[in-house]
Chains A and B, each alone.
Chain A
């Protein structure tokens, strides 16, 4: 039996909003799938990541050596996308393991770039403050990476 929805004159009801929320979550997962697929493929080939569009380097420069080296911003962006809704267990366990591995390696890499005096980022830090800060804020949020590293090490 279908229920009658109470809608206002613009045709938006709380039920509509709930549907939109489900659609939003579904679409977010699609984006994550694309990023994950790209990252896994890149890891296997140890080469520039494959393209989901015609542009050969469209999703490159994260976790893999591209023509410009490993990109801080690209890595941070990919990690940010993959870490959304981590509690949402929608992935098969195999892919979930891949995702966790990619997240761990990416965060470790970003962490080293931030702390290691020998890292490329540290050596050029003064020249790239804004760019680096934005990237690190995206890639490592204080309530995620720190807590997880502490938990895993503890």
Chain B
């Protein structure tokens, strides 16, 4: 699994984004579920001493996979790909006659599921909240698509069509179980903003902070100067009056 994560990281440049998303998501789901299983079993065996190193390793792999997914989602101008699917050819199907078959992976549900699983495994704002618009878009699409009157009709025909439904049902269930309290209001806002816009917002915020800081500083400095000048003037006046000399700043 770890080798696979590194392989995906190395090869993701120049590859079909849909393929990278599906491969990274599959790995992420597997790691996140293993992680949760691992956490439940942490008191169960003699290998507890190794838990810390396993923990760090899994977390870094999850971070890496989420960043790969997030980068593609952030750069994607056309977001319609979330209803698209990526087909994996079943080369390993035993019957030669069946090797022309493909198994479909619905990109939206599988990516959303992966992010949700990662978020459930290790609560971290980056995993779900920053990609919340994508998750919501996917959920909304399939909730609207599937109703009592209109069962979802997969574009994929044949026995493999149930694969589409598996990913959708898994994604919906994972979303329904996601702890809503962990989705903070600020994160909801952040999730609707693309990474490019986020960068611009950071720069704009920085500029505004610098501007406000400069204004406040100048006001403070100006106030202090006036105060110091007044105090110095009063002290000088008092000293001169004490000495019985005429005040140099006052006319007769």
Check if A81 sits within 8 Å of B166, measured CB to CB.
yes
Is the CB–CB distance between A21 and B189 below 8 Å? no
Interface size on B, residues (CB 8 A): 48
> For the complex, what is the distance from the CA of A137 to the CA of B37, rounded to whole Å?
14
Pick from B90, B92, B152, B166: contact of A138, CB below 8 A: B166
Most buried by B among A31, A73, A78: A31
What residues on B are CB-neighbors of A23 within 8 Å? 139, 143
- Is A12 on the interface with B (CB-CB < 8 A)? yes
A44 interface residue per 8 A CB criterion = no
**Interchain nearest-CB distance for A29 vs B (Å):** 9
Given A12-B188, A21-B178; A131-B90 close (CB under 8 Å): yes
Contacting residue for A17 out of B40, B165, B180, CB 8 A = B180
A4, B173: Cα distance in complex, Å: 28
Q: Is A80 in contact with B170, judged by CB distance below 8 angstroms?
A: yes
Choice from A8, A26, A77 contacting B185 with Cβ under 8 Å: A8
B153 within 8 A of A: yes
* Assembled-state Cα–Cα distance A13/B92 (Å): 46
Residue of A nearest to B192 (CB): A10
- Give CA–CA (A130, B91) in the complex, Å: 9
**Alpha-carbon distance A57/B40, docked complex (angstroms):** 41
Beyond A24-B172, A28-B172, whether A57 also contacts B159 by CB under 8 A is yes
Q: A55-B157, A131-B90 are in contact. Are A77 and B136 (CB under 8 A)?
A: no
B71 smallest CB distance to A (angstroms): 22
Q: Are B158 and A55 in contact (CB-based, < 8 A)? A: yes
B80 at the interface (CB under 8 A from A): no
* Contact A68:B159 (CB < 8 A) given known A12-B136, A20-B139, A52-B151: yes
Given contacts A12-B136, A55-B157, A74-B162, whether A131 and B151 have CB atoms under 8 Å apart is: no
Interface of A, helix, strand, loop or mixed by DSSP: helix
* Bound: A62/B30 CA distance, A: 24
On whether the beta carbons of A127 and B143 are closer than 8 Å, the reply is: no
> Is B151 touching A14 in the complex (CB atoms < 8 A)?
no
Taking a contact as CB atoms closer than 8 A, the residue among B94, B142, B165 that contacts A124 in the complex is: B94
B98 in the interface, Cβ–Cβ < 8 Å? yes
Assess whether A9 is interfacial by the CB under 8 Å rule.
yes
Scan residues 146-202 of chain B and give those whose CB is less than 8 A from a CB of chain A: 146-148, 151-154, 157-163, 165-166, 168-170, 172-173, 175-176, 178, 180-181, 183, 185, 188-189, 192
The reply to whether the CB of A95 lies closer than 8 angstroms to some CB of chain B is: no
In the complex, A75 Cα to B236 Cα: how many Å?
Answer: 97
Which of A14, A18, A132, A141 has its CB near the most chain B CB atoms (within 10 A)? Answer: A14
**Contact between B162 and A78, CB atoms less than 8 A apart:** yes
Q: In this complex, what residue of A is CB-closest to B178?
A: A21
Q: Is the CB of A31 within 8 A of B189?
A: no
Distance of A108 Cα from B173 Cα, bound (Å): 24
Residue in B closest to A21 when the chains form the complex, CB atoms: B176
Contact B185 A66 (CB under 8 A): no
Complex interface: chain A residues within 8 A of B143 (CB):
20, 23-24, 26-27
Q: Mark B120-149, 1 if CB is under 8 A from A, else 0.
A: 000000000000110010011011001110
- Evaluate contact between B172 and A25: CB separation under 8 angstroms: yes
Closest to A22 in B: B176
User: A20, A57, A124, A142: which has the most chain B beta carbons within 10 Å?
Assistant: A20
Q: Which 4 pairs from chain A and chain B are nearest by CB?
A: A124-B94, A61-B159, A25-B176, A24-B172
